[in-house]
Amino acid sequence: MQDKQLMDWTEWAALDATAMAELVRDGEVSARELAVQAVQAVELLNPKLNAVIEIFDDVVTDPYRDGMNSGGPFHGVPTLLKDLGSRMKGRHQENGYAWQETYISDLDDPLTLNWRRAGFNLLGRTTCPEGGMSFVTESPKFGKTRNPWNLDRVSGGSSGGSSAVVASGILPVASASDGAGSIRFPAAWTGLVGLKPSRGLNPMPVGYNEGTFPSGVEGMVTRSVRDCAAIHDQLYQKPLGSGFMPYPTPVKPFVDEMYGPERKFRIGLSIADWSRTDNVDPLLKQAVLDIGGSLEGMGHTVEEVHENDICDFESFFPAFMNASWINPLGVGLQATAQAFGVELSARNTSVQVLNHIVAAAEVTLGEHFAAEALNPLFTRQWGYFWERGFDLLLTPLATVQCPHFSAGYELSCSDDFETFVQRLTDAARYASPANATGLPAISLPAGLDHNGCPFAIQFMAPWAREPDLIHIAAQLERANPSLFGQIPPVHVTKIQDDSCSP
């Protein structure tokens, strides 16, 4: 692009979305100037990261053409939407599939409208794996999305394009979605803040509701806790009839939890196996214990809890995978391919996606309903846990350090499907229960692993208690500022002579 760069990259990277919006509001920068510099960052870094599918040049030229609200609190702030979930009118959405390239949405989904009403400038799309089915962002069409901390490592998934964009300083925020950890894994492995909201908080795309896809929610990844809070305040507006779950109106804005007297919580702590293979990385366990000790020093009550006092995890995981993933996604994918007139094969689809369809066809209707029928039991077990007086539960986010691309979590993995699914389930044991039960959970940076990549801890809370998650996150951000907003080797501040020098 020929436009003059607005500010130097150090100034750019220091701005979270809240600060960027203040500059627009004060008349110091324009929406178009911000869009131009965001695109320059994409052009310079995306060849290394492969995180951005498309930039909408017409929106860069005219930021208001698609309905950006000049009166919104985030007026002019550029962002990108994940290529899975809520759609943008007149734009492609491919969901990571090579064979969906002809699809163009004829509407803005409700959450997209909320982004626009908040004043965000939606500049384009970020990468995801096929159907969001793994925490490795890789697909036959778009290839590998790389972690700005270590280009040989994954950026998480399925929102890995968004996490790479935000962690590298291209943008302060990008959209994400979470069906079994897909907001939290990318946030964890790139050093970001990732809140998975309660089921029913944010509106779902047209054609979905909390019954048709109960495990899935949408949100974003950010560098700061205040952005996480303030942007969620703008996203949770739901049109009447867009869902059947009545979500209680928050007493005050989430962002208010950033300020005022610090509250003290009773926090459960668990680093147990949760019925899975005992392969929780010792570094990740120790980080949770260390954070627990810090929280006690801050005046919180921290108690290690037994996994049997939380949930019957041995029954939980196979039921969740059957009811919420294998059967509905596999059957839905086959129907979608038929609607596109496409025959799925190894030429256009990853091996584990094809295996997924085969596995789904082997699940009987009775088996599916039996798995679904167990969910209220598990959800009530979590209810009993919270009724014991716990405000929060502290766990690792993942059981493994940030993996490389051939660690067996990628959809191109050639292992048998059962092995692949069990490996994913093991790694996501602490993340997926929030999806099955609808609980809110947040991933927060906790340090760097042996490969130079970030790792995270997770807090879960009772339903509709996002304010408690924001409050504890803000406390930890103030107590450990060096863990938040760290600079990876591939970053806008390291651009020299119009090239990225990691």
The CA distance from 120 to 111, in Å, is 12
Tens digit of each residue's pLDDT (9 = 90 or more) over 333-392: 989 999 999 999 999 999 999 999 999 999 999 999 999 999 999 999 999 999 999 999
Residue 298 phi/psi, 5-degree rounding, is: -90, 0
Q: How many helices (H) and strands (E) does the chain have?
A: 16, 17
- The amino acid occupying position 463 is W
482 touches 2 (CB < 8 A)? no
pLDDT tops 70 at residue 3:
no
**237 has a pLDDT exceeding 60:** yes
Decide: helix, strand or coil at residue 12. Answer: helix
497 has a pLDDT exceeding 50: no
d(CA 458, CA 188): 9
> 277, 273, 287, 318: which is closest to 401 by C-alpha?
287
The whole-angstrom separation of Cα 404 and Cα 438 is 30
Annotated catalytic residues are 82, 158, 182
Neighbours of 54 (CB within 10 A): 14
Instruction: Judge whether residue 500 has pLDDT over 50.
Output: no
What does the pLDDT read at residue 463? 96
Question: Would strands 78-82 and 121-126 be described as parallel, antiparallel, or unpaired?
Answer: parallel
d(CA 368, CA 310): 24
Burial zone of 28 (CB within 10 Å; 0-12 exposed, 13-18 middle, 19+ buried): exposed
Distance CA(274)–CA(489), nearest Å, equals 35
Domains of the chain: 9-500 (3.90.1300.10)
Q: Is the pTM of this model over 0.85?
A: yes
Task: Please tell me the predicted confidence (pLDDT) of residue 489.
Answer: 98
211-236 pLDDT tens trace: 889 999 999 999 999 999 999 999 99
* pLDDT tier for residue 502 given thresholds of 50, 70 and 90: very low
